Amino acid sequence: MLGMGLEVLEPIINAFKGLQYGGIAQWLAFIGLGIILTIGLVYAIYGLIKLGKMVLSLKVKEFTVFLLVLGAILLGIALVLP
């Protein structure tokens, strides 16, 4: 039982309670996965910031071509997905 407003955290806490606390190998794998996910998240944020700056600096003609290419890519993905 958590305090007021913290009920949303209960599923997350229960997920961690379900982890087996056995072996140092599991802990090292868990920590390694956390580090890899953190680095991936940081690079994704960095890339989105760079993309945003690039899009904001485009001229109107370049921006139109960018949107055309983006639309074509999304259409291609939609066709490939079942």
Please write down the HEC assignment for all residues of 11-48. HHHHHHHCCCCCCHHHHHHHHHHHHHHHHHHHHHHHHH
pLDDT value for 27: 74
Domain count, the chain: 1
User: Quick check: is 41 in a domain?
Assistant: yes
**Tell me: the pLDDT tens digits for 10-61?**
776 666 666 656 677 777 877 888 899 999 999 999 999 999 999 889 899 9
User: Quick check: is 10 in a domain?
Assistant: no
Does pTM top 0.85 for this prediction? no
User: Quick check: is 53 in a domain?
Assistant: yes
Domain that holds residue 75: 22-80
User: Quick check: is 67 in a domain?
Assistant: yes
User: Quick check: is 42 in a domain?
Assistant: yes
User: Quick check: is 5 in a domain?
Assistant: no
User: Quick check: is 15 in a domain?
Assistant: no
